[in-house]
Amino acid sequence: MKRILAVAGPVLGLALGLAACGNPAPPAATPEAPVAPAEEAPAPAGAAGTINVYSARHYDSDKAMYAAFEAETGIRVNVRESGAPELLETMRAEGERSPADVIIASDAGALYRFQDAGFTQGVTSDKLSAVIPETLREKDGNWFGLAKRARIIVYDPQVVSADEVDTYADLADARLKGEVCVRSSTNIYNLSLMGEIIGRSGAEAAAAWAEGVVANMARDPQGGDTAQIDAVAAGECAVALVNHYYWVRLAAGSPEDRLKTNRTQLSFPDQEGNGTHVNVTAAAVAAHSKSPELAIQFIEYLATPHGQELLTAETKEFPVVSGAAVPAGLEQIPGFKESDFPLSELGTHQPEAQAIFDRAGWN
C-alpha cells in the first residue's frame, strides 16, 4: 500500500502542477507520457521552417503528400487531423495564440465556418488565382478549392430508367415512392446539397423537396454513401444519393465490390438545368498564422500537378487544376456540367438546411 502511495502521490502532484502552471514542461517530464518521436521536435538543421496544418481529412496518402512537400522544400509539416467542427472549436479556444498555419477541410460549407469565425485570412497569390477556377475559390482569397467532388444519383437500371433520375427533383417525385435510399441529414454532403437548393429555390421549395424525398424513402436514413450503393445493388431500393468517388472506389475494389458497381448506373443530375452539385476540398491560411508565406507556399504546392496528383490519388476526387493527372479509376466517369452555385454561400444556409431536414423528418 505504501508503495502505491509512493508512486501515486508524485504522479498526481506532477499532473496537477503541470495543469496549473501556465508554461508547460516538455511532455517528457511526465513519467506516464514520454515524448512522441515526431512531437514538435526542433526543425532539422538547415530546415526552412515549420508549418502546422489543421486538417479535416484522414487519408494515408495525405501523409505522403506532407512528406513530399517536406522533401521538396525542407519545410517541416506538423499535422492535427480531426473533424472540421472539432478543429473549429480548438481554434476558438486557442484564439490569437493558435499555432495553426493552414486549415484543410473537405467541404466549402465547413471552410465558410472558419472564415465566418474570423480564423482565415484573405490571401493574394497569383499562382493560385491563375490555376484555380474562380467558382472554386473564395473571392477574397479566404480559401482555395483544391479537389472537387460531385453529388450524384446511383440507380438500378432494371427498375428505373435514366430519364427518371436525371434531376435532384426526381428524388421527390411520387413515381419513386419506396425506392429512395439516403444517408442521415446530419451528413455535411446532404447539408451542402440542401444549402444549394435553398440558395437557388428558397426555403419553401427546399422543404417541399425534403418532404418529397422522405415520403419516397425505402428505409430510414442509415449508413454512409457506400451503404447506399450496397442497398441499390441488393435491390433494397432503386436510387440513392452519393458522392461520385465512393462508387469509383468500389469499382476499383474487390470482386464483390465490382459486382455492386456492375449492377448500378450513375446519373449526373440537372445536366439540362443548373448542373450537378459539386463541392471541394479546400485550404485556407489561418488568421493568426506565424508563417503565412510558408502556408501559402504549401497551398501553392497542392495546386501544382504533382500536388494535385498526391491530393486526389487515394480520394478519387477530381483535380481542379487543368492538366493535372486524373486519378486511376476516374477515366470511366464522363465529363459533366457542374453547377456554378457560389460555394462560399453553402455555409450560410447550413443551420437552415438542418432545420428543414429535421422538420421533414429526415433523420
Does 58 count as an annotated binding residue?
yes
φ and ψ of 3, to 5 deg: -60, -40
Among residues 3, 6, 32, 272, the one that binds other proteins under rule CB under 8 A = 32
Site for other proteins in 47-76 (CB under 8 A): 52, 58-61, 63-64
φ and ψ of 72, to 5 deg: -75, -35
Give the torsion sign (CA, 164, 148, 188, 58).
positive
Does 246 count as an annotated binding residue?
yes
* C-alpha neighbours within 13 Å on the C-beta side of residue 230: 8
Q: How far is CA 146 from CA 60, 66, 188, 207, 315, in A?
A: 18, 15, 18, 31, 12
Among residues 138, 230, 309, 338, the one that binds other proteins under rule CB under 8 A = 230
In this structure, are residues 121 and 71 in contact, taking their beta carbons and an 8 Å threshold?
no
Nearer to other proteins, 85 or 133 (CB): 85
| 3-state SS assignment for residue 34 | coil
Q: Counting contacts by CB under 8 A, is residue 33 touching other proteins?
A: yes
DSSP secondary structure letter of residue 328: T
Q: Counting contacts by CB under 8 A, is residue 139 touching other proteins?
A: no
Does 245 count as an annotated binding residue?
yes
DSSP secondary structure letter of residue 143: -
Among residues 39, 72, 140, 204, the one that binds other proteins under rule CB under 8 A = 39
Among residues 220, 262, 332, 340, the one that binds other proteins under rule CB under 8 A = 220
Q: Counting contacts by CB under 8 A, is residue 225 touching other proteins?
A: yes
Distance CA 292, CA 286 (A): 8
Q: Counting contacts by CB under 8 A, is residue 260 touching other proteins?
A: yes
Residues 6+ away with beta carbon under 8 Å from 20: none
Nearer to other proteins, 131 or 266 (CB): 266
- The residue count for binding other proteins (CB under 8 A) is 82
Site for other proteins in 271-290 (CB under 8 A): none
**Residue 321 beta carbon to other proteins: minimum distance, rounded to whole angstroms:** 23
Q: Counting contacts by CB under 8 A, is residue 24 touching other proteins?
A: yes
Distance of CA 33 to the CA centre of its chain: 32
Q: Counting contacts by CB under 8 A, is residue 233 touching other proteins?
A: yes
Among residues 200, 211, 215, 223, the one that binds other proteins under rule CB under 8 A = 223
Nearer to other proteins, 233 or 303 (CB): 233
Among 265, 255, 278, CA closest to 337: 278
The annotation places the binding site at 58, 245-246
Q: Which residues are part of a known binding site for Fe cation? A: 58, 245-246
